[in-house]
Structure 1
Amino acid sequence: MDRTTTSDCRAVISDDHQGLVGAIGAVLPGASWQRCRTHFMRNLLTRVPKSAQGVVATLVRSIFAQPSAEEVAAQMLRVIEQLERLERLFPAAAELLAEAGPDITAFASLPVEHWRQIWSNNPQERLNREIRRRTDVVGVFPNRRAIVRLVGAVLSEQHDEWAVARRYMSQESLAKAGMTVIEGDAEEEVMPALVAAG
């Protein structure tokens, strides 16, 4: 992570990898950290018998269905209480949810309009799968430049889609959150620097 390019970062969404969480805290001291809801749910459901996974998943999803930050916090407490009442059945699940509560509800401190985009890192996971799919088609790359060129093209395509075809967050909601909206196309010669580094 580069300190010079991260001053406006307000939130980071990732899985619960301790090294990554530590780096986020060190490099982005003002940013909140949101634990990916999808990864958390997978981890939580491994602590519950298969027969009860649907019930527990529905309870936890009800936290994210609330319309305001206050109601998210209140529902989190209610779900933890319900799981604690069932603690003899799901002690590990109740403990994990109580432990991870603040991490999976960090999204609630940002505007409601952003919640669906920031409570998981699924878009990043999809992008990683697309990069993997495209590099698997090629198989073996003749040199570092070739892979940087292909991955750069995939990232450029995704950037264009998010910026033009399907804006990920509206300019109005970003402005409401106090974030600077950058207009125009800030093309930089980044690729030659990456290739030269290799």
Structure 2
Amino acid sequence: MLAVETGWGESKAVWSRFVGGLKKRGLSGVQLFVSDNHPGIKAALREHYSGVPWQRCQYHFRQNALDQVPKKREDQMLQALEHMWRKENSYRKATLEELVDELADPLPDVAVWLSEQAPQTLTVFQVAPKAHRRRMRTTNAVERLHQELKRRSKPVRIFPNPDSCLRLFGAMLKEQHEDWITSQRYLKIHQPAMAK
């Protein structure tokens, strides 16, 4: 766990303060960021860590892709995306191109959207070691943690001030951090650097 902070919304200003704070405190050597496609966080990452590769969360992308296609094409889209994400490096882009070609006639807008957006979900395959890709391709760990924070804060209903929120969430996150550091490691980092 690197930081916890309260913010009013998810604007670029809020994310910039958070990400800039991490950098100011010394966060360096970052080799990959993974997030959803939220413009605020993307702008903040570009501002403070330009040049660091960014991975669009595959889970969020899958949901966005399903919103693009008619119901009868959802299974086709899901299967094609999963197939692309499981392929070996040299065939991923070819698989994406096949899907784009397949959808070009019946759904030209979807084909264009895929050709522009889907490559953002492939960054992890160029940057992360093979052993880490499965866990680093989505924001599932963070999303699960957010669900737990919401569940445990629901009885409070309204926090009297930001500090009271930080005290509760800080204690919960400290507990989670200790679990991740000791017993339930999310990633076992045994390689000195990210690699292809």
Normalising by the residue count of structure 2, what TM-score does the alignment of the two structures yield? Answer: 0.80
Instruction: Give the Cα–Cα distance (whole angstroms) in 2 for the partners of residues 102 and 82 of structure 1.
Output: 13
Change (3 A) 1:150 1:81: same
Deviation at 1:14, TM superposition (A): 0.9
Partner residue of 2:66 out of 33, 40, 45: 45
Tell me how large the CA RMSD over aligned residues is.
1.8
| Alignment coverage as a number of residue pairs | 173
Return 24-33 or 142-151, whichever deviates more.
142-151
Partner residue of 1:119 out of 112, 132, 137: 137
Instruction: Give the Cα–Cα distance (whole angstroms) in 2 for the partners of residues 88 and 50 of structure 1.
Output: 17
Partner residue of 1:98 out of 83, 104, 115: 115
Tell me what 2:194 maps to.
177
Change (3 A) 1:86 1:140: closer
Native 8 Å contact 1:80 1:94 kept in 2? no
Query: What's the secondary structure of 2:34's corresponding residue?
Result: strand
Instruction: Give the Cα–Cα distance (whole angstroms) in 2 for the partners of residues 14 and 124 of structure 1.
Output: 9
Instruction: Give the Cα–Cα distance (whole angstroms) in 2 for the partners of residues 86 and 150 of structure 1.
Output: 48
Instruction: Give the Cα–Cα distance (whole angstroms) in 1 for the partners of residues 109 and 155 of structure 2.
Output: 42
Native 8 Å contact 1:141 1:147 kept in 2? yes
Query: What's the secondary structure of 1:46's corresponding residue?
Result: helix
Instruction: Establish whether residue 87 from structure 1 lines up as the match of residue 108 from structure 2.
Output: no
Query: What's the secondary structure of 1:86's corresponding residue?
Result: helix
Instruction: Establish whether residue 168 from structure 1 lines up as the match of residue 194 from structure 2.
Output: no
| Residue-by-residue CA offset, 1:143-175 (whole Å, 9 max, x unaligned) | 4332211100111121112111211111313x2
Larger radius of gyration: 1
Higher RCO (Cα < 8 Å, 6 or more apart)? 2
Q: Report 1:177-196 matches (<5 A).
A: 177=194
Native 8 Å contact 2:96 2:115 kept in 1? no
Tell me what 2:154 maps to.
136
> Aligned letter for 1:40?
F
Query: What's the secondary structure of 2:182's corresponding residue?
Result: helix
Native 8 Å contact 2:54 2:120 kept in 1? yes
Deviation at 1:43, TM superposition (A): 0.9
Instruction: Give the Cα–Cα distance (whole angstroms) in 2 for the partners of residues 45 and 154 of structure 1.
Output: 34
Native 8 Å contact 2:103 2:110 kept in 1? no
Native 8 Å contact 2:31 2:194 kept in 1? no
Change (3 A) 1:62 1:146: same
Native 8 Å contact 1:13 1:118 kept in 2? yes
Tell me what 1:16 maps to.
37
Query: What's the secondary structure of 2:33's corresponding residue?
Result: strand
Deviation at 1:176, TM superposition (A): 4.5
Native 8 Å contact 1:13 1:119 kept in 2? yes
Instruction: Give the Cα–Cα distance (whole angstroms) in 1 for the partners of residues 42 and 177 of structure 2.
Output: 25
Deviation at 1:91, TM superposition (A): 2.0
